Amino acid sequence: MSTVYNRLRPASQSFMRLQTLLDRYPDIHEQELRELGELASKLTLMEEAILSGSEHLSKTLHQFRRGHTKSQRVPVAELIAFLSLPTLLAAILLWWFFA
C-alpha cells in the first residue's frame, strides 16, 4: 500500500496575473503595464525559475525588463537605508575592538 502526497502549493493569484499579462505583453494598456512592472519586481526566485522554464514567457519577461528598466531599479534611498545598518554595526565593532 502506498500513500500519495500532493502538497504542491498552487500558484498565487499575482503570479497567474503576471503570466496573463506577459502572454499579452506588447498589447496591454498603461495601467496593466504598471501592474506588470510591480508584479515583475516582486517575483520570488522560484517564480523566476518557473518563468525561465517557459521559452515564450522568459523571452517576454526579458523584453519587458529591457524596455522598462527604470521600474526595475532599487531606489537610492532604500539602498542607503539597507546598507547603513551593517556599515554602522561594523564601525561600532571596529571602534570597540581597537579602543
User: What are the boundaries of each domain within the chain?
Assistant: 13-74
CA 23 to chain centre: 18
Q: What is the pLDDT of residue 8?
A: 66
Task: Give the sign of the dihedral formed by CA 35, CA 71, CA 64, CA 12.
Answer: negative
| pTM, two decimal places | 0.60
Q: What is the pLDDT of residue 81?
A: 80
Of 14, 3, 20, nearest to 41 by C-alpha is 14
Task: For the chain, 99 residues long, give each residue's pLDDT as a single digit of tens.
Answer: 566 656 567 778 888 999 999 999 888 888 998 898 888 888 887 888 888 888 998 999 888 888 876 655 566 777 788 889 899 999 999 999 998
